[in-house]
Every structure is written in C-alpha cells, then in structure tokens.
Structure 1
Amino acid sequence: MQARKKGNAQGIDVSHHQGDINFKKVAADGISFVFIKATQGKSFRSKTFLKFVKDAKAAGLMIGAYHYVDDSATTPDLARQEAANFAKAIKDAGGVSTFNLPPVMDYESNKSNLSKATVTAVAKAFLEEVERLTGVRPIVYTYPSFIGKFSGLSGYPLWIARYHATKAPSDASGWSRWEFWQYSDGQYGGTLPSGTRKVSGITGPVDLNEYNGTVDELRARFTKPPVSPDKAGTFTSGTFIANGKEAGKALLYGSRTYVPLRSLANALGLSYRWDNVRKEAYLNGSKLQTVQLIEGTAYVQLKPIADAYGAVVSWDSKNKIASLKTKGEK
C-alpha cells in the first residue's frame, strides 16, 4: 500500500474513553476530521456519542461514526442486529446527512475463534445491512494482523491501523491502497506534522489518523454534493406509497417523480447499492443514470424503473402522492 505523504489531512478517532474533549482546540491544532465511536454489539451505545457529534460538528470538523463489532457477533443475523443498533444511533444523531464521512465497521477481534469464512460472512452481513439502512457504503477499519481474515471485501474503502511513522501497510486481502491510516495510538507510531502525538483539547493519548489526500480532497470525496434540482430550481415534496404502504418521501422535479432508492428497491424486491465515492446508484446490479442526492438520501426516477419491472405508477396531484403497485398486488 502507499506511504504517507506531506499535506495529507490529519484526523483523530475518539470514544468515551477520552473523557471531556474541547473540539474547538482540537480543530485549532490542525485536526480536520474525527471518527466518533457510536456503538458496540447489539445494544451498547457510547455515552458521549451524541455530545461529541454535536460539539465536533460545531467546531467545524468533518465527522464520521464507527461501530465496534463485538465478539458475540458469531452469525450474519447477529451482525445485522449490530448494524441496526449502529443505524439507530446515527438516526438519533440527526441522520446520515449529519455526517461528512461514511459510517465505519471496526472489526478487529475474534475471541470466538470463528473461521475466516465466518468472519467474512459476519463482516459482509454487517456492511450490507448498514448500507441498506443508511444508503451509504461503509468503510472497513481493521489491523494488518486481522485483515487476512477477510475475503472479497476490498470494494469497500479501507481504514488501516499501522503504528509506524513511515512503514506502509502491506497489500492484503485484495486491498492495495488505504483511504485512512491510523498511524499512532497516541503513544507509539508516527507523529503529527508538528512532530508530536499530543492533540490540544484532549487529556491523554488519542489515536492519530490521516486521509490519503489533502483536506480539500477529503471534502471533495466524501462530502455530499448539493441538490441538483430541475431547471426551474424548485421541487415539490410529496409521499411515496408502495403497495398501499407509506415508503418514504416523493419529490417532483418538473414532470418527473423521484423516490428514495432504498424504498423503491425494497418495494420491487431488488438489490441496490449506493457508491458514496463516485456518487453512483445501482439497482439489481445495473448503474442508474439519473440520481438526485438530497440530505444524504439517494433519489431515483420512479416511472422508468417501475415500467422496466412491470410495476404500475400513478400520481395524485391534489394530495401529492406517488403510488406504486407491483405485479400481484391489488
């Protein structure tokens, strides 16, 4: 994998173990982003998560949330339950649009002695469920000693822990580059560009990270783009009804109706994926040409997709309701 380079954006990751944090001082010390622990296991939530999100955002830092996969997650179903806990915390913090950076799966322990195949199955179930619940493709965080337990996950952005100033992590499990490198735990490893491992506003050690690019490049890659409305610059908000049940918001741009990608995919019984890096939407494995990203949610044009899969669409202009009925539904 690539080495660190001068000018890379500097960041930290924190949890309740850090105690009180003055994020204004953190930001003033050259830190531009922070990943905040949200949850662990099926029910645990960090007691400082909501406060840290609010304070870090107010300080102007780019923020992301991470979940620690517990050793009790021994099956894909249990992993999906952990993902639900994580998604609920994100929702309670204001929703995925509150965050500048994608959600993170922190998977680094295997005290249950799972096989490599099971570890991969657990990780895949968690990642896919987080993406299904949030509409955002997650990041994988792990250590060089653990990454070999994964197979077929290299399509996800990688955040690797390697406590060394200059020695780059080795290519592994299909990954040949990192997006984020945790190069110090605050006591060992590399140092900040200032030559220290100390970050103002935090008492004690804190994990140090950097993005593979400048601050502007980090913002450009992960920060959500502005809404792309129709030529008139306006849209009408309504309700999306799928097979008689409310399935989300509908947006009318001129004569075209858009609905959430996830809601439409679920109604049609199709797989979907949102590539947050490229800002691209995929339905049933095919890339969609027209997508609107609004407040962190991907919206896609309703009628062409419905027609392609034999569903019927109607628009109630008086009540602003877009309805979809799939085959076999009355």
Structure 2
Amino acid sequence: MPVQRSGSPRRSRRTVFGVLLAVLSLLLTLPAAAADGSPAAKPQRGSAHLGMGVIPHDGQGPLPLGVTAEQTEGVDVSSHQGNVNWPALWSSGVKWAYVKATEGTYYENPYFAQQYNGSYNVGMIRGAYHFATPNTASGAAQADFFVNNGGGWSRDGKTLPGALDIEWNPYGAQCYGLSQATMVAWIWDFVNRYKARTGRYPVIYTATSWWKTCTGNYAGFAVNHPLWIARYNTSPGELPAGWGFQTMWQYTSSGPIVGDHNKFNGAYDRVVALANG
C-alpha cells in the first residue's frame, strides 16, 4: 500500500510562506530602533519645550567664554525641571526667566505656579511661553488658550511679554505639514490675537535654520516682535531675515542648576524696559 502523507510539499511551502509573512507584518508594526538599539518613540504630547530640536537639527559647539556687562543671564523652564530651586539660581546671577505655560490647546504645565511665582518671589523678572503646534489649532485659538492659562501680561515691571516658541515639530514633520506661506499666516494669527488680548507684541523664539526652512526666511515680524534666538555655540550666529540683533539668546541646554540658559542682549535695566513695554 502507498504511504499516506500528511501534506504535500507545495502545501508545506505555502504554510512556511504564510508564517514568514505574519512575522514580517509584526516586525513592521514595532517602533524603529534608535542608535543605541533601544526602541525609538515619539515624545509624549505636552512634553515639548524651548530648544528641544536645536541639538538634533543644528548641533552644538563651544559655550560662550563669559557674560559681559551688556548681557543679563536668564533661564527657561518647563515641566521637565519640576520644582525649581529659584533662590540658588538668583544667587548664581540669574535675573530673569521664562516658564512654559501651554502647548497647543491641549496642555498646561503642571509646575507652572511653582515656577512662575517662585521666580517672581525671589526677585526675578519673568514671563510665560507657549509651545506652538500649528497643525492642531489656529494661531488665534492657541493665543487665547495661552493668555487664559498664564500667558497674559501686566504692567507691574516684573512681567515680560509672552513668548511664542515656534520651532521643529517634535511629533512629526518639522514644519507641521504647513507650506511656508501658511506658516507665516499662522504666526500672524497668533501674534495679532496676543496683541489684541494683552496690548503687547509677543517675543518670537526660533532658530534661524528652522525659520528659513518653514517660513522662507520671512522678515515681516522683525519690526515689532523681539527675537529670542536659539543657538548653542559661542555666538548667536546668523539671525532670521529682518532682525538686526537678538533681544535674547538661548545659548545652552546644559547650564548650571537649570539646563537652559540665556543671555539678554543688554544690561538689567533693558530687561526692566522690556517688562514695562
């Protein structure tokens, strides 16, 4: 009698091929590996902060040699810093600060009160900043959310105008999927609403390389909006079109006590002047 086979070679090959397809499909659903072999993952919504994209996109060089009499040291903080040791920063010579208040229309910094009030209580001049996500809501809607959640301004001599953090998208395409013209229109929508709500032109925080790529190096905001430039090197370098000088310069993300340190382009009385409008 002929031997009964459990399956034909052709059927066996189909089974093996099916298993291989299933394994390949599973592998494609796993996150890509990072350089160190660990799984890469997008950051959590709300975790973005000033300068998050500077080192990955622009790199970093040597730090400035020192602070001159015409520069005033400052810091910027977000939820990443938690409860900040403001007395230690004040004693180290830091005289002003910016605190992340909001992101998009979906996130408020849970440490905002400690950071914003704590800096004020030790004597610092402080302000709030908003991390923009132009693909999630209009500029006007995000400006309203910012002002309604800590980003306002008062003429007390201790409050800086709000800052718009507009830089690389940590959650996807670097320009948020917007054309250069649409990005410029979005920024106008934000700054115009902020001005209408507070009476102040907001500070614009950005990096020159991002600004060139995502706005086409648009120069129209330079007339009224102070520039806060991000560059981790010995000098601010090339500025975006229209601005002849920076008002503030974020020069490192690895400074003492709090990582993000900045230089105000002027003596302390000029920081006071910006606060007073």
**TM class, shorter-length:** 0.5 to 0.7
Q: Distance in 2 between matches of 1:114 and 1:153?
A: 18
Mapped partners of 2:88, 2:67: distance in 1:
25
2:168 alignment counterpart: 109
- Identity value in percent: 28
Could you tell me which residue of structure 1 aligns to residue 195 of structure 2?
131
Q: Which moved more, 1:57-66 or 1:105-114?
A: 105-114
Match of 2:147 in 1: 87
CA contact (8 A) 1:38 1:45 kept: yes
Q: CA RMSD in A?
A: 2.0
Name the SS of the counterpart of 2:269 in structure 1: helix
Q: Tell me the distance in 2 between the aligned counterparts of 1:18 and 1:142.
A: 21
The aligned residue for residue 268 of structure 1 is none
Between the aligned partners of 1:175 and 1:223, the Cα distance in structure 2 is 20
Post-superposition shift, 1:216?
2.3
**Distance in 2 (alpha carbons) for counterparts of 1:19 and 1:171:** 32
Q: Is 1:160 aligned with 2:229?
A: yes
Give the secondary structure class of the aligned counterpart of 2:191: helix
Assess if the C-alpha contact under 8 Å between 1:34 and 1:61 holds in 2: yes
Kept after mapping to 1: 8 A contact 2:100/2:109:
yes
Q: Which amino acid aligns with 1:63?
A: R
Greater Rg, structure 1 or structure 2?
A: 2
Tell me, yes or no, if structure 1 residue 119 matches structure 2 residue 119. no
Whether the 8 Å CA contact 2:236–2:249 is kept in 1: the answer is: no
Aligned to 1:49: 112
> Partner residue of 1:222?
274
User: Which residues of structure 1 form unaligned runs of 5+?
Assistant: 187-196, 225-275, 277-330
Q: Distance in 1 between matches of 2:77 and 2:243?
A: 25
Displacement, 1:146? 1.4
> Paired residue for 2:264, among 211, 217, 226?
211
3-state SS of the aligned residue for 2:263? strand
Find 1:6's aligned residue among 68, 71, 75: 68
**Larger % of helix: which?**
2
Greater RCO (Cα-Cα under 8 Å, separation 6 or more): 2
The structural deviation recorded for 1:5 is 6.0
How much has 1:73 moved relative to structure 2? Answer: 4.0
**SS of equivalent to 2:117:** helix
Corresponding residue SS for 1:160 = strand
**1:194-222 Cα deviation digits (max 9, x unpaired):** xxx313xx5xxx11101011112322x22
Query: What is the distance in 2 between the residues matched to 1:129 and 1:161?
Result: 24
User: Following the alignment from structure 2 to structure 1, what is the Cα–Cα distance between the partners of residues 241 and 111?
Assistant: 34
- Note the alpha carbon deviations across 1:171-216, whole angstroms, 9 max, x for none: 3221121000001111xxxxxxxxxx313xx5xxx11101011112
Equivalent position amino acid for 2:68 in 1 = K
CA distance in 1, matches of 2:115, 2:181: 36
Q: Which ranges in structure 2 are unaligned for 5 or more consecutive residues? A: 1-63
Choose 127-136 or 95-104, whichever is displaced more: 95-104
Counterpart amino acid of 2:275?
T
Q: Secondary structure at the match of 1:182?
A: strand
TM-superposed deviation, 1:72: 2.4
Report if aligned partners of 2:236, 2:251 keep a CA contact under 8 Å in 1: no
Q: Kindly provide the amino acid, as one letter, of the partner of residue 46 in structure 1.
A: N
In 2: Cα distance, 1:171 partner to 1:47 partner: 33
- TM-score, structure 2 as length reference: 0.68
Q: CA deviation at 1:19?
A: 1.5
Give SS of 1:223's match.
Answer: helix
* Equivalent position amino acid for 2:232 in 1: Y
Give matches, 1:1-330, under 5 Å: 6-7=68-69, 8-73=71-136, 78-90=138-150, 96-97=154-155, 99-110=158-169, 111=173, 112-148=176-212, 149=215, 150-151=217-218, 152-155=220-223, 156-165=225-234, 167-186=235-254, 197-199=255-257, 202=258, 206-219=259-272, 221-224=273-276, 276=277
Asked if structure 2 preserves the Cα contact closer than 8 Å seen for 1:90 and 1:96, the reply is no
2:208–2:239: 8 Å Cα contact kept in structure 1? no
Q: Partner of 2:190: helix, strand, or coil?
A: helix
Q: Which residue of 1 aligns with 2:11?
A: none
The letter of the residue matching 2:144 is: A
Aligned residues: 201
1:73–1:122 contact (8 Å) kept in structure 2: no
Shift of the alpha carbon at 1:6?
1.0
Give how far 1:43 is off: 2.8
